[in-house]
Structures are given as C-alpha cells and as structure tokens.
Structure 1
Amino acid sequence: MNILLTNDDGVDAPGIDALYDELSAIAEVTVVAPADNQSGAGRTNSHRVAVDDHERGLVVHGTPCDCVAVGLQALDSTPELVVSGCNAGPNFGAHKLDRSGTVGAAKEAVYLGVPGIAISAYDPVTGGLREFEREDFVPPARVARYLVEHAGSIGSGTYLNVNAPTVMDDARIQITRPTRDFGVRIEKNRDEDGFAVVDQFYDPLRGDRPEELDDPKGTDRRALADGEISVSPLGVGHELKRSDGLEGVAAEFEQ
C-alpha cells in the first residue's frame, strides 16, 4: 500500500516521526507535511504554495489540506490512503472537527477520492495539557498501524477520526460519534476595547465537571474519559435538512 502521511504540527514534529516509523513497516510511506505548525488550520487551503524536497518526501509551505492536494496530485506514486497526525493532544467533539488541521487533512483526502485517517494522541490524565515526547506517540502509532492494516473496512466516502491514549493499559477500540456539548461565553477585555470569545466545552480530562459528565456510551468524549481508543467513522457531505416552511417561502418569492 502507498500511504501519504501528513500532519498539522509540522514536518519535524515527533508525532509524524513516530507514525512514519510504524507505518513504514507495512507500507510505502511518503511524507508531505507543512513546513511549520498549522494547528487550527481546519480545511484552509492556499492558492499558491512553495514546495521543497525532504528526505521522506516533500515539505509544503502551506496548510495540511495543501499537503494532501500536492501529495495526491504531484507524487509519482498514487497514494491509496492518507494518514494525518499524530497530533499532540486530542481532537474530539463535533465543534472541533472543522477547526482541526489534523482532521481537515483526512477530510480533504475524502473529498479528493481517497480514504483518510486522522489520529491524535491524548494523555488519559491530563489530556493535551502538557508537552508530548516522542515515546508518547508510540502507542497511538500502533493503533494507526492496526487501522491501516484494516483500511479496506473504512468504506467509501469515509474518514476516521481517531483519538488514542498515550498509555494503553487495557484500552479497547470504541466506535464513537462526536459529542455536541458546546457553547461560548463572551468576556469584556480588561482594557475595555473589545471582547474575548471563550469556549465552553467541558473536558473531563482537564478536570471539568467529571462527575456530571452525561455523555452516553458511544460518544467520543465518553470514550476518552474512560481511557479508551475512540474511532469515529465520519462522512464529509453536508446533509440536506428538509424545511417545509422554507419551501413555502421559496414558492412565494416574486421578482
């Protein structure tokens, strides 16, 4: 199998290094990754990017989605799968998926006709609130390898959003859906010249209301709170929401 490996933390990040070593044991892996940190880029793309050679592939002076486009269109070999990561910290919850560059790369792959796997590492105690070392990514990289070995089960038009703990113990894979508990709070800045928008997304790994966590089994946040491996098989289509009221508005429109 030919794999295109990218990330949003930059080509020199330890997470992508761990994935490269693990996946190279079972596949031909080509790295096409950003020159620098692109965390939070989502599915942002650029109109023009510079590309440099790298010992493992290419370095793109752009976003993770730029890397996927370049990798799928410009390489001599044709990648059959895109793997994005390994991110230093979890990517879970419906509100975060469109903000994550790690997840954005996997979604971009699906739009371009290739399955994608986004994998993120989380500390089962602190979440992402610490510095991750190279060895922290070894257990999640093994999870990625297992999923790559079973990539034929992903299905057309699907990408996997995977969150794996840095310490496995007896962790099992849970098939999950993104939790949707999210809100924002507006705070006046101290100098009174603007406002701050603060996410209100309760994270049990950070110590937020763990006793009150009401996410049922089957949600990604519940799996992370339980120290499990969360695998969410997701589509990229924007499903149509039928609205009889809007149908009536459209029918009554006159020039």
Structure 2
Amino acid sequence: MRILLSNDDGVHSPGLVALFEGLQGLGELEVVAPDRDHSGASNALTLNRPLTVDQHPNGYHSVDGTPTDCVHLAVNGLFGEPFDRVVSGINTHANLGDDIIYSGTVAAATEGRHLGLPAIAVSLVNDGHFHYQTAARVVRILLESTRALSLGPRSILNVNVPDLPWSELAGFRVTRLGNRERAEGAVPMTCPRGKQRYWIGAAGRGGDAGPGTDFHAVREGYVSITPVHIDMTRHESLSGLRDWVDGLNGLEDMQA
C-alpha cells in the first residue's frame, strides 16, 4: 500500500512527524506538505505562479503552496507510482463542525478524494498535552481494517481525536458535524509603524454540539469519525426553489 501524507501545518509539524512514525511498516509512505503553516487555507489552489518542490534530508517533500497544491502535485506529477490513499494530518487543533469549511487539513484530504483516492483527515482536539501518538494510532487502526468500507463518491472521513493518552480514550463514535456559534470579534492592534491592524477573532463555541455531533463525542473522550460528502447542494430545497423560480419566469412573461 502506498500512502500519501500531507497537512496544513507545514512540513516540519510535529503532528506530521508523529503520523509518519506511527504508520511505519504499514506500507510505502511519501510526505508532501506545505513549506510553512497554511492553516485556514481551505481548498485554495495556486494558479497564478509555478510551484517549487524541495526534498529534505529526511525524505519529506515540501511545496511553496497550499495543502491542495501539495496533494495535487503529488498525485498528478511528482511520483511515477500511483497512491492507494491519502492521509492528511495530524492537525495541531480540532476540525469540528464548521471548521472543515476553512480547514487546509480537510482540504488536502478532499483533494485526494477528488483525484480518486480514499482519504482521511485527522486532527487532535488539542488541550495542551499534544498526544499526537494517540491520533497516529487511531489512523493506523483505521488503515489496518480489513473490512470493506464504501462512503460513496466525493466522500472522506473527518477524524477528531481527544488529546488523551491511548489508555484514556473512551472508544470510537460515528458522528455528524455540529456547528459553532458566531466567531468572536476581530482583535485590533497597532503595528510598530503606528498602523492599525486586525487579528481574526477566535472561533465560536459549539452551538449545535449535543449528542450525535462531533463536538459531543470528543468532549466525552471518544474519537469522532464523520463521513463528509463534498456536495454543497441543499437537495431538500430544490423543489421549493424550482417553484420560486417558476414564479419569476411567470413575471418575465407578464412584463414581456
């Protein structure tokens, strides 16, 4: 099995190193990750300049681009042999609920899926203890499973692991995405040259965070595993929207 590892925290992230070490012996591993932190990059793809790829003494490759760039290049040009799957992580912080819209970690996994490969995004719900080895062990268990799993087209697994020693995990739970409350306000600051600047405010707390959600599972000490389908169509609204648009068409006929 050939596995592509990537992330959004950068090629030197301790989470990426822990993932690489934790998957040793499972198959042939290749690492292609951004040359710096690209947290919050979402699915950005660099189209306005060529990209540079460097290989490091440890064998990892870095790209001066986004997580999506990394997976796209790795699958579509850097290596002669194809990959069997993509794993993105271990992200230094949670990717729960609405976080996945912004997450470069999730974006790297979805790019792999767009290119036809099963993919997992894994994040540590960090509370300051940095139990990356726990998250790496979770990924290994998922990859070692011999049971067939079909998620359907354009789908990935979004995995969030509590920041706990392995022995303290409560288990695994299949969850749905919750959502957060409104983010905190922007934080103003003044730069050394006297110009006003702003930090983006902290993410909101869990709003929809009850039983069944990813927020609730990790709060209870469980690994949250959420199947994510990359189809943003609001299917249940199609019928009502068609009726509404038909009404607009009628108005056009009347005005004519």
- Give the TM bin, normalised by the shorter chain: 0.7 to 0.9
Cα distance in 1, alignment partners of residues 189 and 9 from structure 2: 32
**Within 5 Å, which residues of 2 pair with 1:14-25?**
14-25=14-25
Quote how far apart the aligned CAs of 1:198 are: 4.1
Match of 1:141 in 2: 136
Query: Is 1:110 matched up with 2:113?
Result: yes
Q: Report the secondary structure of 1:248's partner residue.
A: helix
Root mean square deviation of aligned Cα: 2.7
Which of 234, 240, 246 aligns to 2:228? It is 234
Any idea what the Cα deviations from partners look like across 1:83-116, whole Å, max 9, x if unmatched? 00001111101x2111011111111111222121
Which residue type is aligned with residue 123 of structure 2? S
Match of 2:174 in 1: 175
Quote how far apart the aligned CAs of 1:8 are: 0.6
Flag structure 2 segments of 5+ consecutive residues without an equivalent: 191-195
Q: Report the secondary structure of 1:119's partner residue.
A: strand
Match of 2:51 in 1: 49
Which residue type is aligned with residue 109 of structure 2? A
Structure 1 runs, 4 residues or longer, greater than 6 Å off: 193-197
Contact 1:64 1:104 in 2 (8 A): yes
Match of 1:38 in 2: 38
User: Identity over aligned residues, as a percent?
Assistant: 33
TM-score, L = length of structure 2: 0.82
Quote how far apart the aligned CAs of 1:246 are: 2.8
TM-score, L = length of structure 1: 0.82
Q: Report the secondary structure of 1:173's partner residue.
A: strand
Quote how far apart the aligned CAs of 1:180 are: 2.3
Flag structure 1 segments of 5+ consecutive residues without an equivalent: 204-212
Cα distance in 2, alignment partners of residues 196 and 253 from structure 1: 47
Which residue type is aligned with residue 234 of structure 1? V
Q: 1:37 to 1:199 in 2, by over 3 A?
A: closer
Q: Report the secondary structure of 1:98's partner residue.
A: helix
Q: Report the secondary structure of 1:32's partner residue.
A: strand
Cα distance in 1, alignment partners of residues 119 and 184 from structure 2: 33
Quote how far apart the aligned CAs of 1:53 are: 2.0
Cα distance in 1, alignment partners of residues 72 and 187 from structure 2: 41
Aligned residues: 237
Match of 2:193 in 1: none
**Within 5 Å, which residues of 2 pair with 1:30-109?**
30-47=30-47, 48-54=50-56, 55-74=58-77, 75-93=79-97, 95-109=98-112
Q: 1:247 to 1:149 in 2, by over 3 A?
A: farther
Which of 158, 162, 165 aligns to 1:165? It is 162
